[in-house]
Amino acid sequence: MASLQEQGTTLEPEEAVAPNWSQMGCSICLEPFVDVGHSLPCGHMYHLHCLERVQESVPSYRGSANCPTCREPFPIGMPEEEDIPALLRPWITQPIRKIFLRPSADEDLCDKLDKLSKNVVELERHRERLGKRCQELHEQLSRKGAENLRLQEAAARHRREQRENLVVRAKMSQDNSELIRRQSSVSRKHKDHHDKKPRITSLKKVVFTYNPMGMASDSTLVSPSTAAGCKESQSVDESEDYEME
């Protein structure tokens, strides 16, 4: 028998067994597949060096080994081509097939990849510019926030002063009202006191009448006109007495 042979097979992405090849790995060494995997007839894939170790661990006279995952037997060698009848040669397949996990290069795909790479670079530059702009805006916002805080403190202080001024104005208005009330009361009392003073409407005069007996008569309060009449009467009486003597 010949040594372990390989047959290359390329799978398109639509025909792949698993869509995300980066998450697949060899179940023997637990390492992920990079570009190429080797599949057994049962469908399980391993690294080639892992399958070679499996082949070396099996005696050559057995001619087959078991899949490490499902224990399905697979041939570990192929007979020489001249030992196979010509009619059967087209139907003979290799027990281990190489599977390319990446599609072949295509010009359109390469162009698209180049454009996408340029777009990624441009987006990275744009992201850096946006980061710088965001940093500047953040600094401006911080300054505006500090300024707004100072304005809020000034507004709060102004409101407190306004409230204090309103209290003072209310107190002054109350004191002014009390002062006006007291002034009105004093003016009213002064007016009432002035109205209650006695008014002199006529003059009174004390007149003493002469009594020949040598005694003064009682004094009387008479008006000026009455006093004048009495005086004239007294002078007439005195003149008459003088004539009689």
Residue with tokens 């697979």: 74
Q: What are the structural domain ranges in the chain?
A: 7-104, 105-183, 205-239
- pLDDT given for residue 2 in this prediction: 43
Nearby residues of 2 by Cβ (< 8 Å), 6 or more positions away:
77, 78, 79, 80
Residue 69's Cβ-count burial label (10 Å; 0-12, 13-18, 19+) is middle
What is the pLDDT tens value at each position of the chain, 245 positions in all? 444 444 444 444 444 444 455 457 788 888 887 777 778 888 888 888 888 888 888 887 777 788 888 888 888 777 677 777 878 777 777 777 766 666 555 566 777 888 899 999 999 999 999 999 999 999 999 999 999 999 999 999 999 999 999 999 999 998 888 899 888 888 887 777 776 655 555 545 444 455 555 444 444 444 555 555 555 555 545 544 544 44
Structure-block tokens of residue 102: 């990446």
Residue with tokens 């009495």: 230
- Tell the CATH superfamily of the 7-104 domain: Zinc/RING finger domain, C3HC4 (zinc finger) (3.30.40.10)
Structure-block tokens of residue 82: 């001249």
Q: Within 10 A of 37 (CB to CB), how many other CB atoms are there? A: 23
Alpha carbon distance 101, 31 (integer Å): 15
